[in-house]
């Protein structure tokens, strides 16, 4: 008995334009679904508040709950500082010091603010108090050294920057600022060495790159 083999007629090929339209429709549907899901579960719940504003908001809440804690005012001042609202930042740091005359973070942040606003004499006086309160703070010594560099008091700057380096030998900023002091004193080879050392720790340190390029052109 012979088995009859039935042949299946091939289906008609899909026209490229039709396939393209189907693909577009499918992709559009996926996009709409994605938008709906994103809006429902992610986008409206995502906090887009700028970081400085968020710091201020949180610090204000802490101040309201605990108005006698100097840390809360320093945190609030830091938020204002990030927005370059120096007057409000200054007011908060001073409030912290009104509560605690020996509160080191307030002196440190206030000194940095004075450097940022070009009040270098005030920065030196303030950061000296920070160093006195925390003699093992590399950050206090560093910023005092920066303030001295700005005042062209390079010997004093080197003393503070070397003290900072002993406490934090891997800090590229400290190494760079030592280079600045040497450069201003005319000790070009010493300055180059410092800038090169900073770049060995951080090859992307732009200030050190520019300084070294400047000296190599001389």
Q: Are 208 and 174 in contact (CB under 8 A)?
A: no
d(CA 91, CA 98): 10
d(CA 206, CA 195): 10
108-113, Cβ contacts within 8 angstroms, sequence gap of 24 or more: 108/134, 108/137, 108/139, 108/140, 108/143, 109/74, 109/77, 109/78, 109/81, 111/140, 111/143, 111/144, 111/147, 112/81, 112/143, 113/77, 113/81, 113/86, 113/89
Tell me, what's the pLDDT at 33? 44
Q: Are 128 and 144 in contact (CB under 8 A)?
A: yes
Q: Distance from CA of residue 175 to its chain's centroid?
A: 19
Tell me, what's the pLDDT at 49? 67
The percentage of the chain sitting over the pLDDT mark of 70, rounded to a whole number, equals 78
d(CA 193, CA 208): 11
d(CA 145, CA 172): 14
Tell me, what's the pLDDT at 50? 84
Query: Average pLDDT for consecutive 10-residue bins of the chain (218 residues)?
Result: 39 42 49 43 51 92 97 97 97 98 98 98 98 98 98 98 96 98 97 97 96 92
pTM assigned to the model: 0.77
Instruction: For 175-211, write each residue's pLDDT tens digit.
Output: 999 999 999 999 999 999 999 999 999 999 999 999 9
Tell me, what's the pLDDT at 88? 98
């Amino acid at each position: 008995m012979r088995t009859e083999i039935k042949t299946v007629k091939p289906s008609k090929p899909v026209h490229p334009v039709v396939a393209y339209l189907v693909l577009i429709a499918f992709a559009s549907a996926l996009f709409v679904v994605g938008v709906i899901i994103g809006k429902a579960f992610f986008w409206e719940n995502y906090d887009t508040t700028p970081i400085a504003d968020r710091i201020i908001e949180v610090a204000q809440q802490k101040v309201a709950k605990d108005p006698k804690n100097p840390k809360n005012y320093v945190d609030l001042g830091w938020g204002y500082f990030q927005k370059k609202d120096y007057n409000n930042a200054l007011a908060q740091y001073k409030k912290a010091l009104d509560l605690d005359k020996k509160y080191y973070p307030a002196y440190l942040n206030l000194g940095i603010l004075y450097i940022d606003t070009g009040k270098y004499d005030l920065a030196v006086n303030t950061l000296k108090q920070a160093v006195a309160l925390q003699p093992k703070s590399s950050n206090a010594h560093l910023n005092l050294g920066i303030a001295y560099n700005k005042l062209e008091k390079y010997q004093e700057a080197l003393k503070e920057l070397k003290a900072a380096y002993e406490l934090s030998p891997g800090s590229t900023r400290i190494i760079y600022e030592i280079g600045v002091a040497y450069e201003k004193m005319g000790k070009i080879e010493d300055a180059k060495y410092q800038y090169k050392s900073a770049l060995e720790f951080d090859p992307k340190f732009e200030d050190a790159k520019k300084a070294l390029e400047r000296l190599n052109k001389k």
